[in-house]
Amino acid sequence: MGTPEFAVPTLEALLSWPGCQVVAVLTAPDKPAGRGQQLAESAVKKTAVQHGVPVLQPTNLKAPEFQEELRGYAADLQVVVAFRMLPEAVWNMPPMGSINIHASLLPQYRGAAPINWALIHGEKETGVTSFFLRHEIDTGNLIFQDAVPIADDDDFGTLYEKLKTTGAALALRTVQAIAAGTAPSVPQVASAELRSAPKIQKETGRLDFQRPATELANLVRGLSPIPTAFATLPDGRTLKVFRARALAEDAAEATPGRWVSDGRTYLRVQTSAGQLELLDVQLEGKKRMAVADFLRGFNLSTLLG
Query: CA-to-CA distance for 84 and 140, rounded, in angstroms?
Result: 16
Q: Write down the CATH number for the domain with range 202-304.
A: 3.10.25.10
Task: Please give the annotated binding residues, written as ranges.
Answer: 104-107
Band (36; pLDDT cuts 50, 70, 90): confident
227 preceded by a cis bond (ω within 30 of 0): yes
Amino acid 190: pLDDT: 85
Query: CA-to-CA distance for 303 and 301, rounded, in angstroms?
Result: 5
| Cβ contact 167:82 at 8 Å | no
Task: Please give the annotated binding residues for (6S)-5,6,7,8-tetrahydrofolate, written as ranges.
Answer: 104-107
Q: Which amino acid is at 245?
A: R
* pLDDT 10s digits, 137-156: 999 999 999 999 999 999 99
Band (192; pLDDT cuts 50, 70, 90): confident
Query: CA-to-CA distance for 153 and 171, rounded, in angstroms?
Result: 27
Q: Does 1.10.10.10 match the CATH number of domain 5-180?
A: no
Q: Which amino acid is at 116?
A: N
Please state, rounded to an integer, the average pLDDT across all residues of the chain. Answer: 95
Query: CA-to-CA distance for 241 and 229, rounded, in angstroms?
Result: 5
Per-domain residue ranges for the chain? 5-180, 202-304
Whether the model pTM is above 0.85:
yes
Nearest to 250 by CA among 222, 227, 276, 280: 276
Domain 5-180 and domain 202-304 have a common topology: no
Judged against a pLDDT cut of 90, whether residue 72 lies above it is answered with yes
When pLDDT is averaged across residues 75-91 and rounded to a whole number, the result is 95
Amino acid 76: pLDDT: 97
| Cβ contact 108:102 at 8 Å | no
Nearest to 288 by CA among 216, 240, 235: 240
